[in-house]
Amino acid sequence: DTAVSQTPKYLVTQMGNDKSIKCEQNLGHDTMYWYKQDSKKFLKIMFSYNNKELIINETVPNRFSPKSPDKAHLNLHINSLELGDSAVYFCASSQGRGRASGELFFGEGSRLTVL
Amino acid sequence: GQNIDQPTEMTATEGAIVQINCTYQTSGFNGLFWYQQHAGEAPTFLSYNVLDGLEEKGRFSSFLSRSKGYSYLLLKELQMKDSASYLCAVRPLRTDKLIFGTGTRLQVFP
């Protein structure tokens, strides 16, 4: 059983379109994250939710909107896609705060290509 | 500001020992983490240091010196499957987010 699963795994779309990526974790964790990994493999946090509450919101364009319907799910919606949005988007989860918050369990990633 | 530096690439031979260094400057410090990422896959957690010293976990060990802002990951008895990127990440104070370095791509040759 996959612990952190995200869909779709691959997404190819045109500039200006709107797309969503979904993430689910069955680990019973309280905290979920979205990270973006660019072509140089740099992994950068975008958002974090703890028990459905937004706790981290990095300097991300407001075209990106996360939504957490419950603590097991965290989705990412992107409006008006731009070429620079092409990257691998990783969902992750962790158990609570403190030390455990640094031990992240990542999903397989969603590779977004904007043409 | 926050800055984490690692070498971009390293190579080593099967059976050897390799040390991957990481230096950091962050606004407060609340733990250093190492992750392994094979090409095309998700990062996986390797180790955690919050106090100075060495943490050993099988073939992998991680060292931390908080006063020097320095850590290393030591991989012993290298295997071909250890070819991967190794990401150093720091958690600043009063936040649960991790700041990742750009990673070190390690290639192990026979």
pLDDT at position A97 over 70: no
User: Got the DSSP string for A15-74?
Assistant: TT--EEEEEEE-S--SEEEEEEE-TT--EEEEEEEETTEEEEE-S--TTEEEEEEETTEE
Residues of A with Cβ-Cβ distance to B44 under 8 angstroms: 106
Reported as a pLDDT band with limits 50, 70 and 90, residue A1 is low
pLDDT at B110: 95
Tell me if A103 and B97 make a contact (CB, 8 A cut-off): no
Render B37-105 in DSSP notation, one character per residue.
E-TTS--EEEEEE-SSEEEEETTEEEEEETTTTEEEEEE-S--GGG-EEEEEEE--TT----EE---EE
Residues of B in contact with A48 (CB under 8 A): 96-97
Give the chain A residue nearest B90 (alpha carbons).
A102
pLDDT band at A99 (very low <50, low <70, confident <90, very high): low
Residue A98 confidence (pLDDT): 64
Tell me the average pLDDT of chain A.
92
Q: Which position has the higher pLDDT, B92 or A10?
A: A10
pLDDT for res B33: 95
pLDDT in tens, A35-44: 999 988 889 9
Series of mean pLDDT values for 10-residue runs along chain B (110 residues): 89 97 89 95 94 94 96 98 97 87 96
Q: Does B87 touch chain A (CB under 8 A)?
A: yes
Q: Using an 8 Å Cβ cutoff, are B25 and B69 in contact?
A: yes
Whether the CB of A55 is below 8 Å from some CB of chain B: the reply is: yes
Per the omega criterion (within 30 degrees of 0), is the bond before A8 cis? Answer: yes
Cα separation of A41 and B15, whole Å?
27
Q: What is the mean pLDDT of residues A53-69?
A: 89
